């Protein structure tokens, strides 16, 4: 009797503390889809019920790796399946809006791959629909779940770099030329999401230039500058035509600077105790610069797989009705910058003011609002 009571109590505590399982369906099993399937398969409180891909050879591949997961060719078999609580969209960007709108209208929680949509208008429509339906809408900006980005955010939040002045990112390689989006829409979402996550100040405007070498109006090399009212500046260099792969970001503060090299196996973040001070000589109209170089510190980083962290965040945000780290608002802010960059490229680098901006760039050095 005592033993039986004991078991009852264990069950009571176990089930009252356990959370409802979330059944997910994944649309798109091309290049990125398999990574999502693998990580949602491993995520806590999650069951991958079905995967859709229009190409039968991809479903054969799914069957080999995950024989227990149902493969379907039509995305609607996932969207309208009453047993599926959440839909994950890993298809080309041009299809995100239509698939997500259908799934949200059905009352499903939705996770969309980056970039969220092809326009801010589409992203705003999805955000409003998710609110109306009371479901979670999230965007997979995977890098926010890396130990390196978490560490850099911690360093900036805690003013370890002093006041930050610039972020400079290079993401280039001999990349797959996309047929529906240019190189900025393909590669820059990662870096823009990191920028928006780390820097609290919202940008004021963008300038971008780019060039196509394939006669199809899809730029394969592009440079984007994001301007801030405080004088902080961010710059992104993206290319599919580099002989070497570079994934590097610099974040400069007035006390220390960070070098983030994502290709380094372990020492991805280095903090340079490097800076400068200056003295304006008003009479001679000259500036005297004093340089300081000190130690280089390599912090220890969390090593859990970023995509698993993202999958767990999606599931727990559904269960706990909380805002995920990679929220739909962050997804919208990334699309806003990308859309403005396309407008600027069209006009040979003309400054495009961002809609959400409230104050102009002064180009005077103020304290950055972090
Ligand atoms: N988070 C990241 O780090 C990361 C990395 C790579 C790609 N992505 C994103 O993932 C998404 C997919 O990229 P990809 O490189 O895997 O593309 P892909 O073209 O390799 O794969 C897309 C798959 O979706 C299938 N598909 C398209 N429309 C469909 C529909 N209506 N119904 C069923 N299947 C459909 C295609 O058959 C294809 O197999 C993009 O948004 C991309 O930006 C994210």
**How confident is the model over 56-76, as pLDDT tens digits?**
999 999 999 999 999 999 999
Domain boundaries in the chain?
2-142+307-325, 144-304+341-346
30 Cβ closer than 6 Å to some ligand 1 atom? yes
Which atom from ligand 1 is nearest to the alpha carbon of 141?
1
Which atom from ligand 1 is nearest to the alpha carbon of 96?
41
Cα first-last separation, the chain: 61
118 Cβ closer than 6 Å to some ligand 1 atom? no
pLDDT digit string (tens) for 112-142?
A: 999 999 999 999 999 999 999 999 999 999 9
| Secondary structure (H, E, C), 181-217 | CCHHHHHHHHHHHHHHHHCCCCCCEEEEEEECCCCCC
Contact by Cβ (8 Å): 264, 197: no
Alpha carbons 231 and 363: distance in angstroms, whole number: 5
**pLDDT at 367 (0 to 100):** 34
**pLDDT at 356 (0 to 100):** 65
Q: Is the pLDDT of residue 363 over 80?
A: no
**pLDDT at 6 (0 to 100):** 36
Q: How many CB atoms are closer than 10 A to CB 163? A: 18
**pLDDT at 276 (0 to 100):** 87
The arithmetic mean of pLDDT across residues 328-338, rounded, is 97
Token digits for 14?
């176990």
pLDDT digit string (tens) for 276-323?
A: 888 887 766 788 888 999 999 999 999 999 999 999 999 999 999 999
Q: 92 C-alpha vs ligand 1 centroid, how far in Å?
A: 5
pLDDT digit string (tens) for 174-199?
A: 999 999 999 999 999 999 999 999 99
Which atom from ligand 1 is nearest to the alpha carbon of 143?
3
Q: 24 C-alpha vs ligand 1 centroid, how far in Å?
A: 17
Look at the domain 2-142+307-325 and name its fold. Rossmann fold (3.40.50)
Q: Is the pLDDT of residue 16 over 80?
A: no
54 Cβ closer than 6 Å to some ligand 1 atom? yes
This prediction's pTM: 0.91
Report which of 240, 224, 217 is spatially closest to residue 337, judged by C-alpha positions: 224
Q: Is the pLDDT of residue 366 over 50?
A: no
53 Cβ closer than 6 Å to some ligand 1 atom? yes
**pLDDT at 158 (0 to 100):** 98
- CA 96 vs CA 39, 117, 125, 128, 155: distances in Å: 21, 6, 12, 16, 34
Cα atoms in the Cβ-side hemisphere of radius 13 Å centred on 131: 9
Average pLDDT, the chain: 91
pLDDT digit string (tens) for 195-245?
A: 999 999 999 999 999 999 999 999 999 999 999 999 999 999 999 999 999
Look at the domain 144-304+341-346 and name its fold. Dihydrodipicolinate Reductase; domain 2 (3.30.360)
Contact by Cβ (8 Å): 287, 278: yes
Contact by Cβ (8 Å): 368, 162: no
Q: Is the pLDDT of residue 4 over 80?
A: no
The pLDDT > 90 percentage for the chain reads 84
Q: Which of 113, 175, 334 to mutate to test the pocket of ligand 1 (most atoms within 8 A of CB)?
A: 113
Q: Which of 26, 27, 32, 188 to mutate to test the pocket of ligand 1 (most atoms within 8 A of CB)?
A: 32
Across 253-279, b (16+ Cβ under 10 Å) vs e yields bbebbbbbebeeeeebbebbebbeeee
């Amino acid at each position: 009797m005592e033993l039986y009571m004991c078991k009852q109590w264990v069950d009571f505590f176990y089930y009252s503390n356990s959370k409802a399982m979330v059944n997910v369906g994944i649309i798109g099993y091309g290049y990125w889809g398999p990574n999502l399937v693998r990580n949602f398969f491993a995520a806590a409180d999650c069951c991958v019920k079905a995967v859709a891909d229009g190409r039968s050879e991809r479903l054969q591949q799914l069957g080999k790796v995950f024989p227990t997961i149902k493969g379907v060719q039509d995305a609607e078999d996932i969207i309208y399946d009453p047993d599926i609580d959440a839909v994950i969209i890993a298809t080309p960007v041009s299809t995100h809006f239509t698939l997500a709108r259908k799934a949200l209208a059905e009352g499903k929680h939705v996770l969309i791959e980056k970039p969220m949509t092809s326009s801010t208008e589409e992203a705003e429509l999805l955000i409003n629909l998710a609110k109306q339906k009371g479901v979670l809408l999230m965007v997979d900006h995977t890098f926010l779940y890396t130990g390196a980005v978490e560490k850099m955010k911690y360093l900036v939040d805690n003013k370890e770099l002093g006041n930050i002045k610039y972020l400079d990112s290079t993401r280039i390689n001999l990349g797959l030329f996309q047929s529906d989006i240019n190189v900025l829409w393909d590669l820059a979402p990662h870096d823009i999401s990191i920028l928006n996550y780390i820097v609290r100040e919202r940008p004021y405007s963008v300038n971008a230039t780019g060039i196509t070498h394939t006669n199809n109006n899809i730029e394969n090399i592009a440079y984007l500058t994001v301007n801030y009212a405080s004088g902080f500046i961010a710059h992104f260099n993206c290319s599919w035509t580099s002989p070497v792969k570079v994934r590097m970001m610099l974040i400069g503060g007035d006390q220390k600077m960070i070098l983030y090299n994502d290709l380094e196996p372990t020492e991805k973040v280095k903090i340079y105790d490097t800076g400068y001070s200056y003295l304006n000589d008003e009479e001679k109209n000259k500036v005297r610069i004093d340089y300081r170089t000190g130690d280089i510190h390599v912090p220890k980083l969390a090593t859990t797989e970023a995509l698993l962290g993202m999958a767990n965040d999606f599931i727990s945000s559904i269960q706990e009705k909380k805002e995920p780290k990679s929220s739909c608002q962050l997804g919208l802010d990334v699309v806003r910058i990308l859309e403005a960059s396309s407008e600027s490229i069209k006009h040979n680098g003309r400054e495009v003011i961002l809609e959400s901006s409230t104050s102009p760039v002064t180009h005077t050095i103020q304290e950055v609002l972090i």
